[in-house]
A and B are shown apart, each in its own frame.
Chain A
Amino acid sequence: MNLELLERYGPRMLDGLSVTAMLVVASLFFGALFSLPVVLARVEGGRFLRAIAGAYIQFFRGTPILAQLFLVYYGAGQFRVGLEEAGLWWLFRDAWFCALLAFTLNTAAYQAQILSGAIANVPRGQWEAARSLGLHTPAIYWRVVLPQALMVALRPYGNEVVLMIKASAVASVVTVFDLMGVTRLAFSRSFDFEVYFWAAGLYLLLTEGVRLVWGAMERRLTRHLAPAGAREMGGAPTAAARTPVTAAGEGRR
C-alpha cells in the first residue's frame, strides 16, 4: 500500500464516493417518480398513450447509457439560445445535473418495465374479486394490486439499484468527479495503478452491501410467502396456514 498516495487521494476518493452515492440515490428516486406516469400510461392508457410509453421504454432500454448521457450533455448545447431564453441554461451547463437527468430518464424506463411487468403478473382473479367487492380503481391499485406487484418487483428493483451504481461510473466521462472520476484523475497524475484497486474495493463494497441489505429486506418482507416448512420446522403446512399470525411471528429459522 502506497501510504503517501493514500494520504493524497484517499479523502478525495471518499468525496467521489459520496458524489456517486448522491447521484445514484437522486436518480433512483426521481426515476421512480417519473416511472409512475409511464406505468399508468402503459397499463391504463389508450392505444396512443400506450404507444408513447412503449417507445420511451424501448428507446432508453435499447441504447447505451453513455450515448444517452452524451445526448443530454452535448445535445443540450445545440439548443443553448432557447435554453438561455427559458432561463434553464445554467442547469444544462452543469455536468452533474446532465448526468442526473440522463440517469433519471434511463432508470425510469427500466423501473417502468419492472413495475408494469409485476402488475401484469397479478392474477386477473384479484382484479375481478376487488371489483366485485365494489372497490374503485385507486383502491384496487392501492389495496390489492400494488402490494402484490411490489413483492414480485422487489428483486428486480434491487438489481436495478446495483446496475445504477455501476452505470453511474460513466458520469466521469463528462467531467463529473464521482468515485470513477477521482480515480481516473488520481491515476493520470500519479501513474500508480494501485488507485484502481482502491476504487474497485469501494465499488464492490457498495454493490455487495446493497445486495446483502436488499436480500435481507426481501426475506423479511416475503416471509409470509416462504414455504411452510421454512417457518415451522417439520410442522404440517395446513396447520401453518390455519395459524398465520403465530407462524409469521416465528420468522425463518
Chain B
Amino acid sequence: MGDVIGLLAFGSAGWSDELLAGAAVTIALALATLPFSLGLGLAVALLKRSDRKLSAAVGHAYTTVFRGLPELLTLLMIYYGAPLVVQAILKAVGVGARVEPNAFFAGVLALSLVSAAFTSEVFLSAFNGISRGQWEGAYALGLNRRRTLGLVILPQLVRLSLPGLSNSWLVLLKDTSLVSIIALEDLLRATNLAVGATKQPFLFYTSACCLYLMMTGASALVLRRIETRAERPYIRSPA
C-alpha cells in the first residue's frame, strides 16, 4: 500500500505530476479542436442544406467519409500525409525543404475533421427544428439572408443543438487518447511512460481511466448546467 502511495505521489518519486501534465495536454488538445469542429461543422451543415445540388453533395460526401473512417486511420493519414502535401506545395513554389510531421497539429486537424462530421449532423437536425415561420418573419421584417441567419436563426440553433454538441464534446475528449499513438504526450502517453518505468500497468491504467472519468464527468455536469440555462426562457412558469 505504501508503494502505491509513493508511486502516485507528486514530485520526482511519484508520477502524479506527469499524469496531470498529460491530462493538461489532453484538455488543451480538445479545447484547441473545439472551435474548428464547431465552425467546420456549421459550414458543412449549411452546405448540406444548400439548394445547389453540387454543394449539398459535397456536404454529404464529407460526412460519409469522416463518419465512416476509423478515427485512428484519419489521424495516421493526416500525420503521415500532411507533411507530404506541404512538401509538394513547397516544391511547386521552388522551396525544397523537408517537412517533419507535427503531432499536435496533426491531432487538432484530424480530430477537427472527424468531430465536424458529427457536429454537422447535430446542426442539420437543429436547423430542421426551426420552423419556416422564423425565416419568413425575418424576411418580412426586411432582414437579408445573412442577417436572418446571424440574428434570428443562430441564437435558436445554439439552444437546439446543445444536447448533441455536448455529446460530441464527450466523444472528442475520449478520442484525444488516440494521439498517444503518434507520440504526443497526452494523459494516455504519460501513463504508458509511467508503466514502462514502474512495471505497474494495472495501477496506472486504472488511474488514467479515473482521470478520464473525472474529465468526462465534470464536462457532463457543466454542459448540463449550460443546457438548463439555455432552456430557461422556454420553460413556462407555473401558473
Q: Which residues of A are at the interface with B, using a C-beta cutoff of 8 A?
A: 58-59, 62-68, 70-71, 74-79, 162, 165-170, 172-173, 180, 183-184, 187, 193, 196, 199-200, 203-204, 207-208, 211
Contact = CB atoms under 8 A, between A and B. Distances in A.
Given A63-B174, A166-B71, A75 B76 contact: no
Interface string B176-198: 11101100000010011001000
Contacts of A168: 70
Given A70-B188, A166-B69, A170-B72, A64 B64 contact: no
Contact of A74 (B72, B76, B80, B195): B195
Contact of B81 (A76, A162, A193, A203): A193
B73 A196 contact: yes
A63 B191 CA distance: 14
A225 to B, nearest CB: 20
Given A180-B73, A184-B76, A204-B68, 12 more contacts: A58-B213, A62-B217, A64-B175, A67-B188, A71-B202, A74-B201, A75-B205, A166-B69, A172-B72, A173-B181, A207-B68, A208-B64
22 contacts: A63-B209, A63-B216, A64-B178, A66-B188, A67-B188, A67-B205, A67-B208, A67-B209, A70-B188, A70-B191, A70-B192, A71-B201, A75-B202, A75-B205, A78-B199, A168-B70, A173-B72, A184-B76, A196-B77, A199-B73, A204-B65, A204-B69
B200 interface: yes
A59 B206 CA distance: 11
Interface residues of B, number: 39
A168 B201 CA distance: 22
Interface of B: 64-65, 67-73, 76-77, 80-81, 84, 170, 174-178, 180-181, 188, 191-192, 195, 199-203, 205-206, 208-209, 212-213, 216-217
A10 B14 CA distance: 47
